[in-house]
Structures are given as C-alpha cells and as structure tokens.
Amino acid sequence: MMPTSRDIRARNRRLLLQHIVAQPAVSRPALAAATGLSHATVGTLAAELLDLGLVAESGYEESAGGRPRALLTAAGADGRLIGVDVAETYVHAELFDLSLAVRASAAAPLHPGDLTPDTVVDRIAAAVDAALARGGAEPGSVLGAGVSMPGQVDRPGSDHATIGYAANWAWQDVPLTARLAARLPYPVHLDNPLRACTAAELWFGAARGRNDAVVLNLGTGVGAGLAVGGEVYRGSTNSAGEWGHTTLVLDGRRCHCGARGCVEAYIGAAGIMRTLRERAPRSLLLSPSDQTATIAALGRAAAAGDKAANDVLAETARYLGAATADLVNLLNPEVVVLSSWVAAALGEPLLHKLRPEVRARALPRPGAAVELALSPVPSNPVSLGAAAFALEGALAPAAPKSRRGTRS
C-alpha cells in the first residue's frame, strides 16, 4: 500500500502538533516557516487542531507593524492523555496534559500468578483510575490512553488491536483493546515498549526533529526501535526492530529464542551477567538471581574504577559496538539513542567505551554521520511514548471517537 491523501493529511496534522508541543507557544507564520507547509495549509490544520481541542490560543505576539499574531499552545488545552507501561512485574499509569507533561502517576504490581487477560485488564484499569484521581481529572477530559504491552501487538492503533503473543503470560491472540475498551471510556491505543520508547525519543528525546533514528532498548531483552522520516517504523506486521535476535556470532552463545549467537545473548542483561561470570566467576558484583542489582552494581563499580567491572564493560562495549555498527552501516541513521534500564545503569562509562568500538566498525560516511547519545527522557519513556500514541490517535482521521465533531 502506498500512502494516500488521508495518510498525508494525518501526517501534516501530526507534524504541526509536534512543532506546537515542542514550545510554550508559537504563531501560525512561525509554524509555516518551521514545517514548510503553506500558510493556507497551516491555517486549515490549526483550525482542525483547535476544533479537536488539542491546542488552544494563548495571547498574541507583537509583530513589527502588522496586526498581532495569535499564539497556539498545547499546554493551554484542557484535554488529558494516559500512558500505561505494562511489564512482567508491574503496571505504571501516568496522566499527561496535552503538552505531554506528567500530571500524576500510579502503579499496581503484577504477580507471577496474575496470568489472565482479565487480571491484567483489572490492574491496568485500577492504575489508570488511581492516576486520574490523583491528577484530579475527569474521565471525560481524557482524549485517549496508550497502553504498552510486552509482546507482539497486531493491528496497533485500531479498535481490534490484539496481543498476538506475550511470552510472559503465554497469551495468544488476545483482543486486548476490546477488553480494555469495556473499562476505559476513551480510545485505547495498544503497542509495545520498543515502539513506545521510539515515540518518546521522537517527540521529546534525542531523536526529536530527526528523520532517521534508532533507539536501542537495552534491558532484559534488547531491541532497536526504528524511526524513518520522523515516524516510528513498524514493518509489515508491527514486528520490526528485533535486533536482539540478529546474529552477532554465527554458532555462538545459545539464545533463549532457540537460535545461536543472537545479539541479545551478549548484551541483554543476562548476557552481560554471563560475561561477568565468565571473566570473574566469584565477583561480588554478581547477584545471581537479580539482574537489576547486578547491572546496577556493575555500573557503580565501573564508574568507581574497578578493573574487573571495566573489563566486563569493555567486552560488552565490543559486542554492543559491533551490533550498533551493523545498524549504522545498514540504516545510516542520524542518531542512535541508548534507552531503557541497562543503558541508564551503565550510562556514560559504557557510552565512553562504545564510541571507539562503533567508529572502528562503521564505514566512514555513515560512521561520521551518526551521533550516539544516552536517552535524555527524564520520566518513564514507555508511558510517555504510549501517551504520544494516544495523542497521535486523537489526530488520525479514522480515530474511533473524538470529543468534538470535526474530522476530515
């Protein structure tokens, strides 16, 4: 399928809103200059955004001579968005205003026994209700909720979005959006953490304003969120980004996916722990049953100059460097962003060792063009990105519900 005029109109609306959200207030002529859209198109789209309640007018800018120019802002509009991050052990729900600033948060634990879709839906609804109550928001003010679920999401962004499979819970083809819709009286947008983190970087992080970007999700699992032309790239079945299951060492370490030599077997949290165990089997840094504690201890020890920790970081940087250079050579992105908890725990010491490894393996032109950065997103990027999906949903021509009427 080629893009249609509807896609293009939706894209222009989002483009305009991204520019409005990015600043406290901005005039229509400034938006035309920043986007390359004509003044007439900006006028039409701005009227649509006002009508949808996604932006508000907030005063005027003085202009030399001519009449004063009205300023548009997302912060002044009264709508709210919800972003939910569902993981193996928790549900985090956050309430955002339309400038995507966090207004309130709530969490609910998920226990190993909480296996059924009904239980997970209950936990999500409870966390969302708590966040709404804490933020003093009425359900009627909510334009949409984005929910990030760990697993394969089919038909993302539609009323029929489904969990194709979720390894944690042994789910298959669960129509989660339909189930959530019975509990949350506004549009629900389902996707996964990889794509949510990518949206977070595009709207608010190191990929803002970039066309071509890669967001490395470094956690227990690893993946590469891809952005092309300033948009999250999904591939043909919303499965793109499985960088963790590309081959780094043919016939190498066994990966839990069943294959050998996958990137994840080397730079996923368990892979890093294995490198530590191989190099220093009795290391005090090792908490055998606790990935988070081990990676955090490794990061602290490396920052403090510990030799064994720095050796493990160097070996990890060698693996990560080769796998990152693969993405640089293949995709030629403007920026590669390191995101998620392993990246946060290993931080600058890892980045410092990573840069020369990437430089050594990237070809000259794409290597010179790429910037490597740690994610600057200060809050939970998954719930932020999920909320961004809800905001994009409120913009789409075929969004199932809207607070006010006009759609084109």
Residues that bind a second copy (CB under 8 A): 1-6, 8, 11-12, 15, 18, 35-38, 41, 152, 164-165, 209, 211-212, 224, 226, 228-230, 233-243, 245-250, 252, 257, 259, 319, 322-323, 325-327, 329-334, 360-361, 363-366, 368-370
Nearer to a second copy, 3 or 113 (CB): 3
Nearer to a second copy, 76 or 261 (CB): 261
Closest distance between a second copy and the C-beta of residue 16, in Å?
10
Which among 305, 312, 402, 325 is positioned nearest to 369, based on CA atoms? 325
Q: What contacts 24+ positions apart, CB below 8 Å, involve 352-360?
A: 353/313, 353/314, 353/317, 354/317, 354/320, 354/321, 354/324, 356/321, 357/317, 357/318, 357/320, 357/321, 357/322, 357/324, 357/325, 358/321, 358/324, 358/325, 358/328, 360/321, 360/325
Closest distance between a second copy and the C-beta of residue 4, in Å?
3
CA atoms of 253 and 172, how far apart (whole Å): 28
Q: Do residues 240 and 234 lie in contact, with contact meaning Cβ atoms separated by under 8 Å?
A: yes
Which among 194, 219, 316, 311 is positioned nearest to 269, based on CA atoms? 219
Nearer to a second copy, 182 or 368 (CB): 368
Which among 72, 79, 68 is positioned nearest to 57, based on CA atoms? 72
Nearer to a second copy, 148 or 238 (CB): 238
Nearer to a second copy, 8 or 304 (CB): 8
CA atoms of 90 and 107, how far apart (whole Å): 7
Q: Do residues 112 and 105 lie in contact, with contact meaning Cβ atoms separated by under 8 Å?
A: no
Nearer to a second copy, 112 or 364 (CB): 364
Q: Do residues 125 and 86 lie in contact, with contact meaning Cβ atoms separated by under 8 Å?
A: no
Nearer to a second copy, 183 or 361 (CB): 361
Closest distance between a second copy and the C-beta of residue 306, in Å?
25
Closest distance between a second copy and the C-beta of residue 17, in Å?
11
CA atoms of 233 and 165, how far apart (whole Å): 20
Closest distance between a second copy and the C-beta of residue 329, in Å?
4
Closest distance between a second copy and the C-beta of residue 216, in Å?
12
| Per-residue exposure over 291-311, b if at least 16 CB sit within 10 Å of its own CB, e if not | beebbbbbbebbeeebebbbe
Closest distance between a second copy and the C-beta of residue 372, in Å?
14
Nearer to a second copy, 75 or 249 (CB): 249
Closest distance between a second copy and the C-beta of residue 408, in Å?
11
CA atoms of 156 and 93, how far apart (whole Å): 19
